[in-house]
Amino acid sequence: MARDAQLLLRSERDHKAYRLKCRFKIEPHPSQFRLDIEKVWIAERFVRDMRAQGWDNLPGHGFKMRGPFPQIIPTTLHRVRRLTAREMLPHVRQGARFLAGGHDGVSIVPRLSASEWWEYEISGVFSRKAIVMEYPYPHEEERG
């Protein structure tokens, strides 16, 4: 006996809370006073930036801070184009060898004691009435 599945949605949608995070960098071994000042300044700026994007801060939840982490510099990984077996065949017949490229996309992260900068992560609870959808830019979906 099969039943039809139905999805029932309310006409008014509640605001859903999300814990959003941001990171900031600071010099290694900051004093507690310096860290507290920076934490408050970054949290205020975080709330202001998120408000500009349509998010409302829920101050009852407060902010949480984690860290320190070694600073990781963001890099863009480009996929290396691999030859297909059909494209390799003429080269293999002439004696060419195809070995692994050696690029695995893993970056080396320095230890915390060897980092020039430290990062701390601040997270706060925000809500937004509209559902947020992310779409990749067209150039990100190109197949090489």
For 82-140, the pLDDT digits (tens) are 788 898 889 889 988 877 665 556 667 778 877 788 999 999 999 887 666 677 777 76
Contacts of 55 (CB under 8 A, 6+ apart): 20, 126, 127, 128
Whether 96 is covered by a domain: the verdict is no
Is 25 domain-assigned?
A: yes
Each residue of 43-84: pLDDT tens digit?
Answer: 999 999 999 988 899 888 889 999 898 887 776 666 777 788
Residues 6+ apart with CB under 8 A from 117: 25, 26, 27, 28, 71
Report which of 122, 102, 105, 140 is spatially closest to residue 61, judged by C-alpha positions: 122
Q: How many domains does the chain have?
A: 1
Query: Which is nearest to 122 in space by CA: 35, 53, 42, 28?
Result: 42
With CA atoms as reference, report the closest residue to 120 among 19, 51, 20, 21: 21
Structural domain of 55: 15-72+115-129
pTM as predicted:
0.59
